[in-house]
Amino acid sequence: MDRALYIAMTGATQTLKAQAVNNHNLANASTVGFKAELAAHSAVAVDGAQLATRVNTRLDGLGFDNRLGSIQQTGNPLDVVLAADHWLAVQAPDGAEGYTRAGDLRVGADGLMRTAAGHLVMGEDGPLSVPPHTQISIGGDGTVTVLPQGQGPEAPAVIGRLRVVRAEPAQLERDGGGLMRLGDGGEELPPAAGQVLSSGALESSNVNLADAMVNMIQLARSFEMQVKLMRAAEDNAQASASVMRMG
């Protein structure tokens, strides 16, 4: 009976973790460029003497869903959609390089380009600085061009190029702040070449709301079933103890 109790207990614990993952996806269903987190349960034998028959339920992270979200046309020259498997390099809060597909870019009062989440956008030589201008555009290769204040339309100036890299999902891991980072032992990613983005549009989150809602209900029912199993194990233990006392 303790085997059933152990399985139900660990299953309930990991179901709560799975519910947290699903809730995180739901909370980011409207976040630009968000990639849904993936996870699945697995059975793992417990090591140790006298524990050969015990099995632990574990929630394994499976990375993220790399499918593209829907494309929303905005007409804003600072909104960009990255090509498949391409990522925009930004400066994470700890100063290291992180990656995102959120293409809602802004130029702050200090002239530095940032994402809407506040991360500094990296150019080829560090954070990209934009001088005062009357017009700005981002080319398909990531080149940023401005029309400086006081200059006519015949004098556009190239101020830099967005650092865009190409990476497979297996190379990246999500950090606690929502950015992607290179996995342990990963080599620095070189800049991607060619057509790496298109401007005037944004990629929405790829979270499927209907699937996430159904999954939330299934997880709630699974947790309820595991709690009932723990109660049944307790009732059976008490009944067995009563029989032993009668003997």
Tens of pLDDT, residues 77-95: 999 999 999 999 999 999 9
The answer on 123 and 189 residing in a single domain is yes
- Are 149 and 234 in a shared domain? no
Which residue ranges of the chain lie beneath pLDDT 50?
A: none
The verdict on 125 and 229 lying in the same domain is no
Indicate the residue type of 209: L
User: If we measure between CA atoms, which residue out of 18, 16, 34 comes closest to residue 207?
Assistant: 34
Q: Which ranges of the chain does DSSP label H, i.e. alpha helix?
A: 2-27, 209-246
Residue-level pLDDT at 60: 81
HSE-CB for 97 with a 13 A CA cutoff = 21
Q: Are residue 80 and residue 198 in the same domain, yes or no?
A: yes
Verify that 197 and 215 share a domain, yes or no: no
Cα 89 to Cα 62, 116, 120, 140, 181, distances in angstroms:
23, 14, 9, 16, 10
Dihedral sign (CA 129, 135, 139, 143): negative
Tell me what pLDDT residue 154 has.
81
Question: Of 186, 203, 220, which residue is a domain's last?
Answer: 203
Shared domain for 76 and 62, answered yes or no, is: no
81, β-bridge pairs: 198
| Residue 243, pLDDT score | 67
Q: Which residues of 31-66 are buried (b: 16+ CB within 10 A; e: fewer)?
A: bbbbbbbebebeeeeeeeeeeeebbbbebeeeebbb
Counting the structural domains of the chain, the total is 2
Task: Supply the range of the domain harboring residue 185.
Answer: 71-203
- Are residues 241 and 128 both part of a single domain? no
Same domain assignment for residues 113 and 161: yes
Determine how β-strand 120-123 pairs with β-strand 86-91: antiparallel
- Tens-place pLDDT, residues 58-67: 888 888 999 9
Task: Note whether 53 and 3 are within 8 A (CB).
Answer: yes
> What is the model's pLDDT at position 51?
58
Give yes or no: residues 195 and 80 share one domain: yes
Q: Does residue 212 share a domain with residue 198? A: no
Would you state the pLDDT for residue 36? 94
Helix (H, G, I), strand (E, B) or coil at 89: strand
Do 40 and 52 belong together in one domain?
yes
